[in-house]
């Protein structure tokens, strides 16, 4: 956790590219601050030389001219401050969010398993907003209000230094109050952030899982989850308000005492009406900027707590990309050589049980290898190794004889296409989802992919065809259509290595036959790694690797493994019996 000085230093570096306008804003705030003593001096001169005199010592038209000039200057400087601050801070906000989103795109896969989606969304959207609001409120209060206080105090010293010393009792009292509430506000804000992230996660899950909630009557459960966090946030807000508002009555009492003493002393010194009025007015005008300076502690602590969270995410190490070599187009020769791996726990340490244990497998270019076995056998982990979402703890993986760690991530993943049972689509057009990741879409290639994935009828039935928006995660498509879009995406990419994870699981029989034919065409000449639970779909694979507890225990063709009468044969006969029943 960074200390305040380090956080402030980083915030200043974020603002640095816009320092010219920030400095200009400072000058406009100084102009606003200067109008306070100017107004009081004009009032003093008016009382001393205007009222009670038979003949005015100045032209009567000077009164509206001076007042209009002062308030015009104040209006212009106030407007300029608001405009310049907004110009700077909206750009700072965009810079921070852009930097965080860039980091989000490059985070290791393990981080997404440790963090909640709601927490990440809350950090990028709400915490960054709090940081920028803090910069705005603190910058304006500390700079403008400090300048107002300094200007008024200088004017008070000019009027009567002895009475000014009495008025200065307000300043240290305010400072003590602020210091007292600082630590409590910081702790409350950290807890408030944590619960806000939890609430974001509850809302995100409720929106995403609305069908499950209704079918399983989970409304009461979800409502209770939401209410617990909502009530916690209310409690934090109440406690922060109490800690924050408790400064007001103390400040008011101290101020009233100071004003009382000043009035008594002024009467004894027989000050003129003009000087006394100007002094009291200036002293009372100190209250507003001093109150703002005292109240800045709340947004200051909220902003610092949010900044810690924001910078923590920005400082998360990116996915390791130590490779320097690239491949134009791989032949597709994959090799696992004595690979072992254990998923890290939440504290970053390896798990006690390995997901892969000494796996060795040589996949020739253009070969189709199916991975089968019971859940937890290591099939998905093998895919995570191939895509380099995780790096092995021991052993090596190579592509075309080049070790994975020597290849850049971009070059390696450019050789791969993947179709998973958990289809991920984006709230964009159908065409953009199929040609995902490509800046310039090849219309002929896109049409060929649509045809090969048997999506032609789907496209024809959409109001704007390929330009039709398909909704969040393809919500306007059926499950089978979504799966075919994922297959079309893989066909469009035309990568030499293909990963199929239950690619036909969501299709009906007719669609499955059609798409299986498309997949057979797609798989021709490509290195294909298939994960399948329905063993009937991988009988034609060149080889089948049977996995159990992170080890490959059987390898061979379908007929060879049945003849072994081992684990594969047991799984096959058990599944066949269930289908026959």
Q: Which two tokens stand for residue 412?
A: 């390696």
Please indicate, yes or no, whether residues 526 and 438 belong to a single structural domain of this protein: yes
Q: Are 382 and 463 in contact (CB under 8 A)?
A: no
More confident residue, 405 or 303: 405
- Torsions phi, psi for 346 (to 5 deg): -65, -25
> Are 358 and 551 in contact, with CB atoms under 8 Å apart?
yes
The residue range of the domain holding 549 is: 366-378+411-580
Angle at 306 between CA 389 and CA 227, to 5 degrees: 90
CB atoms within 10 A of CB 383: 18
Residue 43 CB partners (closer than 8 Å, separation 6+): 274, 277, 278, 281
CA-closest candidate to residue 499, choices 407, 403, 406, 420: 420
How many domains does the structure of the chain reveal? 2
Instruction: Tell me the CA distances in angstroms from 547 to 46, 352, 377, 378, 554, one per residue in order.
Output: 95, 19, 5, 7, 7
Q: Is residue 325 part of a domain?
A: no
Q: In 246-286, which residue ranges form alpha helices assigned H by DSSP?
A: 247-269, 273-285
Residues 299 and 372 in one domain: no
Checking DSSP bridges between strand 416-420 and strand 497-501, what pairing results, if any? parallel
- 274 close to 45: Cβ distance less than 8 angstroms: yes
> Which pLDDT band, with edges at 50, 70 and 90, does 275 fall under?
confident
For residue 172, the model assigns a pLDDT of 66
Same domain, 152 and 255: yes
Residues 105 and 22 in one domain: yes
Cα distance between residue 141 and residue 287, in whole Å: 13
Residue 361's DSSP bridge partners are: 336
| Range from 463-467, 482-486, 494-498 carrying the lowest mean pLDDT | 482-486
Domain final residue pick, 314, 338, 354 = 314
Tell whether 201 is covered by a domain: no
Tokens of 492: 């469009």
Query: Are 546 and 566 contacting, i.e. CB atoms less than 8 angstroms apart?
Result: yes
Given a contact cutoff of 8 angstroms between Cβ atoms, the answer to whether 124 and 101 are in contact is yes
With bands split at pLDDT 50, 70 and 90, how would you rate the model's confidence at 159? Answer: confident
Please indicate, yes or no, if residue 452 is contained in any of the structural domains.
yes
Tell me the C-alpha distance between 538 and 467, whole Å. 35
| Per-residue tokens: 360 | 């060795």
329 domain residue, yes or no: no
Residue 509 lies in a domain: yes
Q: For 334, phi and psi rounded to 5 degrees?
A: -100, 140
CATH label of the domain that carries residue 531: 3.40.50.300
- What do you get for the CA distance between the two ends of the chain, in Å? 60
Task: Say yes or no to pLDDT of 396 above 90.
Answer: yes
Together in a domain, 457 and 548: yes
Sheet with 334-341: strands ordered across: 356-363, 334-341, 394-399, 402-403
- Given 314, 329, 358, the domain boundary residue is 314
Confidence band (pLDDT; 50, 70, 90) for 553?
A: very high
Residue 196's φ and ψ, nearest 5 degrees, are -60, -40
571 and 535 in contact (C-beta within 8 Å)? yes
The pLDDT of residue 479 is: 78
pLDDT (average), residues 330-357: 81
**54 inside domain:** yes
Query: Is the model's pLDDT at 385 over the cut of 70?
Result: yes
Which residue has 């409720």 as its token pair?
206
Q: Are strands 368-372 and 394-399 parallel, antiparallel or unpaired?
A: unpaired
Question: Residue 262's domain is classified under what CATH number?
Answer: 1.20.1560.10
177 and 254 in a common domain: yes
Q: Go through the chain and tell me how many residues it has.
A: 581
What integer pLDDT is reported at residue 56 of this predicted model?
Answer: 55
The predicted pLDDT at position 348 comes to 53
Rg (CA), the chain: 35
Report the alpha-carbon distance of residue 394 to residue 538 in Å, rounded.
Answer: 30
266/370 same-domain check: no
**Three-class SS of residue 503?**
coil
Flag whether pLDDT at 1 surpasses 50: no
- Please indicate whether residue 258 or residue 132 has the higher confidence score (pLDDT): 132
Three-point CA angle 406, 412, 418, nearest 5°? 150
Q: Which of 264, 272, 235, 35 is nearest to 147 (CA)?
A: 35
Residue 360 has pLDDT above 90, yes or no: yes
Assess whether 475 and 570 both reside in one domain: yes
* Nearest one of 313, 385, 337 to 531, comparing CA atoms: 385
**Does residue 335 form part of some domain?**
no
pLDDT per position as a tens digit, 162-221: 777 766 666 666 666 666 666 666 677 777 777 777 777 787 777 767 666 776 677 887
Task: For residue range 279-327, list pLDDT tens digits in order.
Answer: 777 777 777 777 677 667 767 777 887 888 888 888 888 888 888 999 8
pLDDT tens digits for range 111-125: 877 777 777 888 888
- Domain-located, residue 10: yes
Q: Which of 225-234, 253-262, 545-554 has the lowest mean pLDDT?
A: 253-262
* pLDDT at residue number 552: 93
């Amino acid at each position: 956790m960074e200390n305040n000085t380090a956080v402030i230093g980083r915030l200043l570096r974020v603002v640095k590219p816009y320092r010219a306008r920030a400095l200009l804003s400072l000058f406009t705030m100084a102009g606003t601050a200067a109008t306070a003593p100017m107004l009081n001096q004009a009032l003093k001169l008016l009382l001393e030389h205007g009222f009670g005199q038979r003949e005015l010592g100045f032209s009567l038209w000077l009164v509206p001219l001076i007042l209009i000039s002062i308030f015009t200057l104040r209006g212009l400087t106030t407007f300029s401050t608001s405009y310049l601050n907004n110009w700077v801070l909206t750009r700072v906000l965009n810079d921070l969010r852009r930097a965080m989103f860039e980091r989000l795109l490059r985070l290791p896969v393990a981080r997404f398993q440790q963090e909640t989606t709601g927490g990440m969304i809350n950090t990028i959207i709400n915490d960054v907003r709090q940081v920028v609001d803090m910069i705005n409120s603190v910058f304006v209060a500390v700079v403008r209000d400090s300048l107002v206080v300094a200007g008024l105090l200088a004017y008070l010293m000019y009027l009567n230094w002895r009475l000014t010393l009495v008025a200065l009792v307000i300043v240290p009292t305010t400072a003590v109050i602020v210091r007292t509430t600082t630590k409590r506000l910081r702790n409350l804000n950290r807890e408030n952030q944590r619960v806000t992230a939890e609430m974001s996660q509850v809302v995100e899950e409720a929106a995403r899982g609305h069908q499950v909630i209704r079918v399983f009557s989970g409304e009461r459960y979800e409502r209770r989850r939401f209410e617990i966090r909502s009530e916690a946030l209310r409690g934090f807000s109440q406690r922060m308000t109490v800690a924050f508002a408790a400064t007001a009555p103390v400040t008011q009492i101290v101020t009233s005492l100071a004003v009382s003493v000043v009035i008594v002393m002024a009467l004894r010194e027989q000050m003129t009406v003009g000087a006394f009025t100007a002094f009291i007015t200036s002293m009372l005008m100190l209250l507003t900027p001093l109150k703002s300076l005292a109240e800045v502690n709340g947004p200051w602590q909220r902003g610092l707590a949010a900044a810690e969270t924001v910078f923590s995410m920005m400082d998360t190490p990116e996915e390791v990309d130590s490779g320097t070599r690239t491949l134009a187009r791989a032949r597709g020769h994959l090799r696992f050589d004595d690979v072992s791996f254990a998923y890290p726990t939440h504290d970053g340490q390896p798990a006690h049980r390995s997901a892969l244990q000494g796996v060795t497998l040589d996949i020739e270019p253009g070969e189709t290898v199916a991975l089968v076995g019971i859940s937890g056998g290591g099939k998905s982990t093998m895919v995570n190794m191939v895509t380099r979402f995780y790096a092995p703890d021991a052993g090596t993986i190579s592509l075309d004889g080049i070790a994975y760690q020597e290849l850049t991530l971009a070059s390696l993943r450019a050789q791969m296409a993947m179709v998973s049972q958990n289809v991920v689509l984006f709230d964009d057009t159908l065409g953009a989802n199929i040609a995902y990741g490509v800046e310039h879409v090849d219309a002929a290639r896109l049409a060929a992919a649509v045809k090969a994935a048997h999506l032609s009828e789907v496209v024809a039935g959409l109001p704007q065809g390929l330009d039709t928006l398909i909704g969040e995660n393809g919500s306007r498509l059926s499950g089978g259509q979504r799966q075919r879009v994922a297959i079309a995406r893989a066909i469009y990419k035309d990568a030499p290595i293909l990963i199929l994870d239950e690619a036909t699981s969501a299709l009906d029989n007719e669609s499955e036959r059609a798409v299986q034919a498309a997949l057979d065409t797609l798989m021709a000449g490509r290195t294909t790694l298939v994960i399948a639970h329905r063993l009937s779909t991988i009988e034609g694979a060149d080889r089948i690797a049977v996995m159990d507890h992170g080890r490959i225990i059987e390898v061979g063709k379908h007929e060879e493994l049945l003849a072994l009468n081992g684990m594969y044969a047991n799984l096959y006969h058990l599944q066949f019996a269930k289908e026959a029943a």
